[in-house]
Chain A
């Protein structure tokens, strides 16, 4: 009964949400490297390039899905946007304001406006606090409502998130995963945010609960005009909730477009392989899965050129040399559809790249010529 009702709601929600063109969040060439330190002298010997230069914009009231394999830097990107991690380079603009240029005091003021919902609802709630306190703590801290309205406000927020008022005095261990995730959502919502990073909010839940939570998120978005960055590796969920989708591979955004466009016609070979793995609920349907060979390379030592070329089918079939030499530019191939792949190189670009490649080869040959000499000297 409940499920069906919610599905009915969903149809309403699916209609384009109230959309003004204000950009809530803009990410410009964001990089986040984790230094690898030597064990003894603590010298930096290398970097794990978790996020290696990504850029996107999210408009008010929309949801951007961020998909990719495990370890491709989705969550790191999400946390860096909230300045829970320090940025290596690049900018994160919230309503045109660079979050990383704010002082600690200003940052604390802006914190309620950008919230996060975590993947694991079990570890993201302090086990020794009643629910009312978990939700209301920051509300009180930031003076979001006057003290006399506080209790009612928390009750309303809880109701809006599908929780009951009497849950307030209970402790997290008394709730199921789905309810806990609702608590997490209520905690984020209570601060009256503009923007919420949903860091795989449904990955830890079973499928029926996933649907409830997704619908709750959509419903809240519709009612309160929220903006989401929805991080997930579950493509069907992303397809369901997102207005735009970004695909990440090894710290880079390889493709970005509106949901319909990208699911209709994925441009990047990686996206194609990824989307071919979406199960179709039809027993007669013959899936044409593109199976990627090998495993994801180490982000500490990513392949040269296009990071995907070691596993790229197109690259192998067409034997494209450029892929292993030069990083493909991230550019708009169709209106609103961005992709970073050498397949879509324009002729002028190809000639440019060839020049560069020739130059690089020449240098390499010179170096190769020097090396044996050195060996001989030894």
Chain B
């Protein structure tokens, strides 16, 4: 609590007042002399209201103000009454012939391991090249070898090859004792190996097989076995046949497939894990394998029938049907065939097939067409039918629904213009306010304190004048892209950077003003009355700089909006899908697009021009209004 000293002046003034009151009371009857009563003059305006009055007399400024009010209303209130948002994508549903299934022969052989050992794995890698060599030679069987392994390959038919091993590595043994180190050996073999090592033999026979011991190092030796061709140790089955389970989702083991393929040659029943399975020729070229109870279990066919997306999700009925049609077409050589089938429909909204409450597809009978297509020497059959499909309304012309049409992303242009106006105007204001705050602080300090502070700040201003905005923004934009910054953060940082790059002009203006104001007598008077420095700056100096500041801010707004539009147009500023006036034009960035879709860029261009012009009008009006010498 401040102490109030005995204030003699105040006491005396009080006394005087009372005296005057007494006098007035005593002379209450006296006629008052005629005087111009100052209090009854017309209300005199404060400097700000004078400025307002002058401003509103300027017609051009009023036009500017009206335009600005319109822009603000459109951008900030307009969207509340408009049904669409800036990122509403508009699309229509069309019926399109879309691929549903693809049918074709397998292009490569599927390899089934009969035994799972190193030799088989070796062979698996080589089967394709073996088959290729066989086909080139036109032979039905051949011998091949790789390293220590040798194989015989036999062609059963076009769809099935069998590979037998004649020589393969059995495993590693200790070169000194003959004890096995890896691989599987029978007891007989172990004994034979031990005795062979003992007698320093490198080869020996056991039964019909011939064993070779090859020393690799002091302690390691590799045992290779050669088997007579008649013994036929089957290692690989390579097949182009497709085994489809009748029940969708049943997993068929590889060993079962091997059993099926082995039995295929004979075409008779076979046993697998205690159950008996029988073959039966089905429709088309299919072979149906039935289990013991006579129910179809697996279907063998030449065709692989897959969903257009590559999934193996069709049931056996559909596959049979397609296989039948395709085999019919292959036989007759027709290029087109149709058939009817119950198929599900795509839901354009969820982009999935419609399902009922049980999770089953909702099926409708449609006419499916099958057409062959040859690519890279392979013939595939495409099953298509008419499906519902969502199509985005790109570059839709103006209509009752979309006043200014839609842009390249199917967004409503008018709603984007309104939302874009928000961003553009906010960017303008925020940047200018930021510039002004920085400029006033820096310019104020430089002007008020002078000396080396002034020199330092003014050199800083010179440096900031030299920094080119565009390259800096390009570098920053690439940095933001790298950081994958969300659009709103990006917007924020863009405003900050533009503000930091733009304060220098205002700092110069403020400094100049303050330098001249500082020497005015009212500033000296303020010092003489002992006011604090901060109060002298903010209560005496700043209000006197305000007129010039307001004018320069208003003029600057237009410039900032232009800069922001240019940056966004170049894709350096505010990013899609956030709309600004700049990146709406970006939607039609090629000359052809500009020629064709004038309804997208002309309205936005006009709005940008109008806003900048309006800000300039208002700025001019304010400047004239602040300058009492300007008389209109």
Contact = CB atoms under 8 A, between A and B. Distances in A.
B609 interface: no
A51 interface: no
Nearest to A143: B2
Contact of A108 (B13, B530, B543): B530
Given A84-B524, A192-B9, A223-B16, A126 B544 contact: yes
B528 A82 contact: yes
B524 A130 contact: no
A223 B521 CA distance: 28
Interface string A290-303: 00000000000000
A212 B13 CA distance: 20
Contact of B17 (A145, A156, A192): A156
Interface stretch (A29-37, A114-122, A235-243): A114-122
Interface in B533-547: 535, 539-540, 543-544, 546
B137 interface: no
A369 to B, nearest CB: 47
A144 B524 CA distance: 21
A171 B46 contact: yes
Contact of B4 (A1, A82, A146, A171): A146
Nearest to A112: B530
A170 B529 contact: no
Nearest to A124: B521
A64 interface: no
B525 A118 contact: yes
B47 interface: yes
B132 interface: no
Interface stretch (A158-166, A253-261, A310-318, A320-328): A158-166
A119 B522 CA distance: 11
Interface in B47-71: 47
Contacts of B12: 223-224
Contact of A160 (B13, B39, B44, B540): B13
A143 B528 contact: no
Max chain B C-beta neighbours (<10 A), residue from A116, A126, A127, A146: A126
A123 interface: yes
B47 A137 contact: no
A195 to B, nearest CB: 12
Contacts of B590: none
Given A123-B520, A159-B17, A187-B525, A130 B3 contact: no
B522 A124 contact: yes
B298 to A, nearest CB: 97
A234 B139 CA distance: 136
B13 A143 contact: no
A187 B529 contact: yes
A128 interface: yes
A15 B521 CA distance: 34
A127 B521 CA distance: 12
B531 interface: yes
B13 A156 contact: yes
Say what secondary structure dominates the interface of chain B.
Answer: helix
Contact of B47 (A1, A124, A146, A171): A171
Given A145-B7, A149-B10, A127 B525 contact: no
A138 interface: yes
A174 B47 CA distance: 10
A362 interface: no
Given A123-B521, A192-B10, A115 B531 contact: no
Contacts of A111: 528-530
A156 B10 contact: yes
B532 interface: yes
A114 B529 CA distance: 8
Given A123-B520, A126-B544, A143-B4, A166 B38 contact: yes
Contacts of B146: none
A245 interface: no
Contacts of A192: 7-10
Contacts of B335: none
Contacts of A110: 530
A118 B521 contact: yes
A203 to B, nearest CB: 13
Contacts of A24: none
Interface residues of A, number: 52
Interface in B14-38: 14, 16-17, 33, 38
B180 to A, nearest CB: 100
A224 B9 contact: yes
Interface in B154-202: none
Interface in B194-238: none
B522 A137 contact: no
A115 B9 contact: no
Given A124-B525, A166-B38, A184-B525, A142 B544 contact: no
B532 A141 contact: yes
A189 interface: yes
A173 interface: yes
Contacts of B527: 84
Interface string A11-22: 000000000000
Contacts of B7: 144-145, 192
Nearest to A122: B521
A340 interface: no
A153 B10 contact: yes
Contacts of A350: none
Contact of A141 (B44, B530, B543): B530
Nearest to A163: B38
Contact of B46 (A130, A137, A144, A156): A130
A84 B528 contact: yes
Interface in A128-154: 128-130, 137-138, 141-146, 149, 153
A126 B540 contact: yes
A1 B543 CA distance: 41
B544 A128 contact: yes
A191 interface: yes
A125 interface: yes
Interface in A165-197: 166-167, 170-171, 173-174, 184, 187, 189, 191-192
Contacts of B531: 137-138, 141
Nearest to A160: B13
Contacts of A120: 521
B44 to A, nearest CB: 5
Interface in A258-283: none
B8 to A, nearest CB: 7
A132 B51 CA distance: 21
A310 B504 CA distance: 53
Nearest to A167: B38
Given A184-B525, A223-B16, A137 B4 contact: no
A231 B137 CA distance: 128
A223 B20 CA distance: 15
B38 A160 contact: no
A339 interface: no
A46 B406 CA distance: 77
A50 interface: no
A157 interface: yes
A155 to B, nearest CB: 9
A127 B544 contact: yes
B528 A145 contact: no
15 contacts: A82-B528, A107-B530, A108-B532, A123-B521, A123-B522, A125-B522, A126-B543, A141-B532, A144-B4, A145-B7, A145-B10, A164-B38, A171-B47, A192-B10, A223-B16
Given A107-B530, A123-B520, A127-B47, 14 more contacts: A108-B532, A116-B528, A119-B521, A126-B544, A130-B46, A141-B529, A141-B532, A144-B4, A144-B10, A157-B13, A164-B39, A192-B9, A224-B9, A224-B12
Going nearest first, the 10 A-B pairs with the smallest beta carbon separation are A111-B530, A138-B529, A143-B2, A124-B521, A156-B13, A192-B9, A128-B543, A108-B530, A126-B522, A123-B521
Interface of B: 2-4, 7-10, 12-14, 16-17, 33, 38-39, 44, 46-47, 520-522, 524-532, 535, 539-540, 543-544, 546
